[in-house]
């Protein structure tokens, strides 16, 4: 279906442009990995991890901004559908239905009018129909829904048991590259503010306990609460919070109310600095 719809030099050139941009981003990430490997044995590892994490997020965010510009500029070309489906690595899409639904719907509406018989365009329409907008995702100012899941030792730990502290409720997985890149930033802020009552309740969307525990050890995450039902994207806590892409987080105040969401990179430190005054 796709070849029938996208045939023609204009569409082919657009696809080439899109993949060239993606290759350029891959090269930047590869260069960043090489910098990390070359420096990790000769400098403060926490500072290096934080710097690499922030630079990685900047690369990914800049690529996404460029991809959005490309899609909106060429929205009448079916080639932009491939732009919606591009990924930064295994199981890590640039765009997600949860965060970018307006863009998916805009592309679908435009192309459905222009190519009503295209099976590839219909596939996008079907994707939207089968994945309706998340209803009931907790909002800022509301009390965080309860989670009570097992930790690595098999003991159930309730999110509410941490009340009295500021808590970062963080959804992640060992297989999620952006999550792993963000972990050093979480560790850095945890170490800075834990003595003031800041802690982390981390929910994994892993399906392998061994891979989950190995990532906790490798990333140095052992000091806070970890839970998982090991159900991958069928995770009950993720469903309760409307999480359909990761990393995703919610910052809770000591009363258990949500006061901020999706604080990544420098934004987590900025928010905690506002709270604690340093």
- pLDDT 10s digits, 189-246: 999 999 999 999 999 999 999 999 999 999 999 899 999 999 999 999 998 999 988 9
Across the range 141-166, mean pLDDT stands at 96
E strands present in the chain: 87-89, 92-93, 148-150, 156-158, 166-172, 198-204, 225-227, 248-252, 258-261
Across the range 70-80, mean pLDDT stands at 94
Share of the chain above pLDDT 90, in %: 69
Determine the pLDDT at residue 3.
44
Distance CA(167)–CA(257), nearest Å, equals 10
Determine how many CB atoms are found less than 10 A away from the CB of residue 92: 16
Across the range 235-262, mean pLDDT stands at 94
Across the range 162-187, mean pLDDT stands at 96
Residue 45 CA, chain-centre distance (Å), reads 23
Does residue 28 carry a pLDDT above 90?
yes
| Per-residue CA distances from 146 to 207, 234, 239, 247 (Å) | 22, 17, 12, 20
Does residue 85 carry a pLDDT above 50?
yes
Q: Kindly state the tokens that stand for 278.
A: 């340093």
- CATH value of 148-276 in 3.40.30.10, 3.40.50.2300, 3.40.605.10, 3.40.50.12280: 3.40.30.10
Average pLDDT, the chain: 91
Number of helices (H) and strands (E), helices first, in the chain? 10, 9
Distance CA(54)–CA(264), nearest Å, equals 9
pTM assigned to the model: 0.60
Share of the chain above pLDDT 70, in %: 95
- Order across the sheet with 248-252: list the strands: 225-227, 198-204, 166-172, 248-252, 258-261
Across the range 152-164, mean pLDDT stands at 96
Confidence of residue 182 (pLDDT cuts 50, 70, 90): very high
Q: Which residue has the higher pLDDT, 146 or 5?
A: 146
């Amino acid at each position: 279906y796709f070849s029938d719809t996208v045939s023609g030099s204009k569409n082919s050139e657009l696809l080439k442009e899109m993949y060239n941009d993606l290759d350029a981003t891959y090269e930047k990430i590869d260069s960043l990995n090489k910098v990390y490997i070359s420096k990790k044995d000769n400098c403060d590892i926490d500072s290096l991890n934080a710097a690499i994490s922030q630079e990685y997020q900047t690369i990914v965010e800049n690529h996404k901004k460029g991809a959005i510009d490309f899609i909106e500029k060429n929205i009448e070309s079916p080639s932009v559908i491939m732009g919606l489906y591009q990924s930064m690595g295994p199981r890590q899409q640039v765009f997600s239905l949860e965060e970018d639904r307006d863009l998916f719907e805009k592309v679908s509406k435009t192309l459905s009018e222009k190519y009503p018989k295209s099976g590839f365009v219909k596939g996008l329409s079907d994707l939207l129909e089968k994945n309706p907008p998340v209803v009931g995702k907790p909002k800022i100012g509301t009390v965080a829904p309860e989670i009570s899941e097992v930790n690595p030792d098999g003991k159930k730990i309730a999110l509410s048991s941490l009340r009295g502290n500021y808590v970062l409720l963080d959804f992640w997985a060992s297989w999620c590259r952006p999550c792993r890149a963000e972990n050093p930033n979480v560790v850095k802020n945890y170490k800075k503010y834990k003595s003031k009552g800041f802690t982390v309740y981390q929910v994994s969307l892993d399906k392998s306990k061994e891979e989950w525990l190995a990532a906790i050890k490798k990333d140095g995450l052992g000091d806070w609460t970890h839970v998982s039902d090991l159900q991958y994207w069928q995770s009950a806590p993720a469903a309760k919070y409307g999480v359909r892409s990761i990393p995703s987080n919610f910052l809770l105040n000591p009363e258990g109310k949500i006061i901020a969401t999706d604080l990544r990179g420098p934004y987590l430190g900025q928010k905690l600095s506002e709270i604690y005054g340093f």
